[in-house]
Amino acid sequence: MSKEQRGTILLAFTALIWGIGFVAQRAAMDYMEPLTFNAVRFGLGGLSLLPVVFIIEGKINWPSIKAGLVGGTVVFVAVGLQQYGIAITGSASIAGFITGLYIVFVPILGMLVGRKTTRFVWIGAAVATVGLYLIGVPRGLNNLDIGSVMLLACAVGWAVHILAVDRFAGQAKPLGFSAVQCLVCAAFSAVAAFMFEDVQVSFIVAGYIPVLYASFVSVLIAFTLQIFGQRHVPPGRSAIIFSMESVIGAIGEALLLGAFLDSRGYTGGGLIFAGILISQIRRGNKDNA
């Protein structure tokens, strides 16, 4: 198995975790406000990773700190917009669709920084976007609200994050990068939460189930897998793989919250997987997108 194949598997697991995470993020909004939730989950995730960093990597070096500062700042903005968007729309499916539009923004922003993208990534992105639309917006775009606009801005943020990870993953140590990134996001979120929200420990304790999943699975495990996986998978393909999270989010919402997909939604899921397969088509060694 090649390094890129192993990286693809890691990114697929990341998408699986994040897809279920949409359900946890929606459920958490019944107990606490968005910035409070982000501060707790990223704080717990980052702190629990620190002992692993010191045992395996020995110390957090400067490249990891620099990468974590950049990544954590971007994540703070992206995940803040995402969580408020979920709170307003009240739908994991809609959040998954609009957030998943980073599959379009990644190649566009990548070109601006000189990153080559093949036609197959563009075709795959287009097909997957149609699928995401069918899953996430069954009533049409005329129903989009301020929450959806926030999720759209969030999608741009995640595209920037994917490119940032691609930029730093080869230089920073993965675990140190992930730990610093989580703690930076947690620190910014905590400051903002105390400024703009009613932070109550009792609210956090009441929502311990989504908090635990989001902290130790979505943050601790998934963000670390992303960094390891993107060391060997180009950003265009990484974004397409991550788009599976919308399908998983919709399935999780159906199984755990009772919101089932119709035939239109399942058609969308098939198109997303088709887009993923198309994006993996290669044409010789020049295909490095």
For 192-244, write each residue's pLDDT tens digit: 999 999 999 999 999 999 999 999 999 999 989 999 999 888 888 888 888 78
Q: How far is 168 from 34, CA to CA, in rounded Å?
A: 28
Of the candidates 133, 95, 101, the residue with the CA atom closest to the CA atom of residue 249:
95
Q: How far is 287 from 289, CA to CA, in rounded Å?
A: 6
Confirm whether 284 is domain-assigned.
no
CA distances from 282 to 3, 7, 118, 271, 286 (A): 16, 17, 9, 19, 9
Q: How many helices (H) and strands (E) does the chain have?
A: 14, 0
Predicted confidence band at 285 (pLDDT cuts at 50, 70, 90)?
very low
CA distances from 2 to 6, 7, 63, 207, 255 (A): 6, 9, 26, 41, 35
Average pLDDT for 93-108: 80
Beta-carbon contacts of 266 under 8 Å, excluding residues fewer than 6 positions away, are none
How many percent of the chain have pLDDT more than 70?
Answer: 92
**Domain span including residue 165:** 3-279
Tally of domains in the chain: 1
Query: Which one is predicted more confidently, 157 or 287?
Result: 157
Q: Which two tokens stand for residue 57?
A: 């990597």
Confirm whether 288 is domain-assigned.
no
Alpha helix (H) ranges present in 90-173?
Answer: 92-99, 102-112, 119-136, 146-168
Q: Which two tokens stand for residue 196?
A: 């703009």
Residue 145 predicted with pLDDT over 50: yes
Confirm whether 285 is domain-assigned.
no
Q: How far is 10 from 153, CA to CA, in rounded Å?
A: 26
- pTM: predicted TM-score of the whole model, two decimal places: 0.83
